[in-house]
Amino acid sequence: SQQGEEDPQALSIQEGENATMNCSYKTSINNLQWYRQNSGRGLVHLILIRSNEREKHSGRLRVTLDTSKKSSSLLITASRAADTASYFCAATMDSSYKLIFGSGTRLLVRP
C-alpha cells in the first residue's frame, strides 16, 4: 500500500485561480518529488525537494516541505486548462531510494 496520502482527491477550479494540493507521509524521507500524469499517460517530473529544504519554486509551481508535520504541498499559480491532470507526490524513504507514491489528486481546470 502507498505510504503517501494526498488531499484533496479531486479539485475543480476556474482558469486563473491557484490550485493547492497536499501530501502527507508516514516516515522520514530523503526527498519528495511531484509528478503530473495526463489521463493514463506517462508521469512528468515536476520538482524535487530534499528533506533539508523547505521551499522550492519552478515557474508557476511552488513546493513546500514540513518535515515536522511530514507533509508537503504543491501550489500551481494562475492555473491553465492545460494543467488539468492528476498530480502525485512520491517520496524516497530509505537507502534504496525507490519512490513511494501517494494516491494522487485529480485537478480539473475549467476554461
Please report whether residue 54 would count as binding another protein according to CB under 8 A: no
For another protein, the binding residue among 51, 64, 71, 77 (CB under 8 A) is: 51
Count of other CB atoms within 10 angstroms of residue 3:
16
Query: 49 and 35 in contact (C-beta within 8 Å)?
Result: no
Residue 41: CB minimum distance to another protein, A: 7
Residue 15: CB minimum distance to another protein, A: 26
User: Cα Rg for the chain, rounded, in angstroms?
Assistant: 13
The residues with which 74 forms a beta bridge, in sequence order, are 21, 63
Which residues make up the interface to another protein (CB under 8 A)? Answer: 1-2, 30-31, 33, 35, 40-45, 48, 50-51, 88, 90, 92, 95-101, 103-104
